[in-house]
Structure 1
């Protein structure tokens, strides 16, 4: 099934229909509102929501702290964190496993789905992540250049999509992420922990498994040094 009605979504999540519509309207679950006023939810986004927000509960970090945790896990310096926040972040890394880490940082960005006329051209100006940069992690996955997966460097996502011939689609496999980083990042590819975290909430079982495995390996390497 590609789409769910608001009633089907409410039944699946065990919430009221009103709450299901609120999740769609606020963008927590990707969907579209028809001219009739009815909502359709993207089934893939529903699964991501269940994975990131519902399974096992757990705290979600604010965007700046979540980015800081992923920077620290990647062996980089999160210069925007205060000493006390950095200390708390390091304590979390010592106690949280891969699943908990993936859930905790999942709220720092939002994925927008599209269909690109030319994936290579559409991805040229993005900071690659997820499946587009999976080969960086060395967990048995390869970079998938057939599809777009990246963070916009600056500006609005809709404008980037328009100028790169990408059509919004709740069932599209090309993904643009909001860039909520508190710093300017000029790399062509996101740091390893960011790539792993984005894979860890994928609806593709192999990608999700690879992302969680990479987070575990990165955490073990971090623990060995700290």
Structure 2
């Protein structure tokens, strides 16, 4: 059973106000549920811990178009404007993955058969780690992916999904997503690396950071 905490405790752990926690719950940045009085929330501890991992401290989150431009540039060499070029040059890989990850929400579900969901996903994170030149020992317990060509409610019905913070299916959603890439079997390489970097597994996280830094160095070498 998923552990839940009060909004005040979530606020303390994240270093924000309870009002901000409420905003994050309504936007999907945090998972939680409203109690019967509709004014009280219980917040998923796992989602708070995940959000804490992507915290970059002070500074405004990057705009959606900036996140999308950086993902495209690092994944396929696309050009960016001068301001984004400067960000790519001056942002450390530790800050870079967090800036992108702030635009991604992850919801975990439990299903009896992840293979029903697989055809509807653009795989990411450790489920697509081979795309960034790494391999896992054994098979990942969790299937990670972005929805493609299906609504979440339809997938919930088709695959019998039940929301579970420790479930075997992780549905990622990029706020800055562009539909053109969500038709392929895998997410863009830079996004795969970012989703690996946010994982608690040291090996998966390190693989994501290495790949993202290699992409950044390569892009700067081609665009300096």
Shorter-chain TM-score: which interval?
Answer: 0.7 to 0.9
Between the aligned partners of 2:151 and 2:59, the Cα distance in structure 1 is 30
Alpha-carbon offset, residue 150 of structure 1: 0.6
Q: CA RMSD in A?
A: 2.6
Q: How many residues align?
A: 219
| 2:4 corresponds to 1:7 | no
| 2:117 corresponds to 1:122 | yes
Q: Which runs of 5+ in 2 are unaligned?
A: none
Of residues 97-106 and 171-180 in structure 1, the stretch that sits farther from structure 2 once superposed is: 171-180
Alpha-carbon offset, residue 217 of structure 1: 1.5
The 5 A counterparts of 1:181-192 are 181-185=177-181, 186-192=183-189
- Is the alpha carbon distance of 1:203 and 1:158 closer, same or farther for their aligned partners in structure 2, counting shifts above 3 Å? farther
Between the aligned partners of 1:65 and 1:143, the Cα distance in structure 2 is 36
Partner SS for 1:117: coil
1:197 counterpart (173, 178, 194): 194
Between the aligned partners of 2:210 and 2:50, the Cα distance in structure 1 is 18
Partner SS for 1:124: helix
- Is the alpha carbon distance of 1:74 and 1:143 closer, same or farther for their aligned partners in structure 2, counting shifts above 3 Å? farther
Runs of 4+ in 1 over 6 A off after TM superposition: none
Between the aligned partners of 1:11 and 1:146, the Cα distance in structure 2 is 31
The residue aligned with 2:91 is: 96
- Is the alpha carbon distance of 1:72 and 1:147 closer, same or farther for their aligned partners in structure 2, counting shifts above 3 Å? same
The residue aligned with 1:223 is: 220
**Taking structure 1 as the reference length, what is the TM-score of the superposition?**
0.82
The 5 A counterparts of 1:68-79 are 68-77=69-78
Q: Which runs of 5+ in 1 are unaligned?
A: 79-84
Q: Residues 59 and 104 of structure 1 are in contact (CA less than 8 Å); yes or no, is this contact kept in structure 2?
A: no
**Taking structure 2 as the reference length, what is the TM-score of the superposition?**
0.83
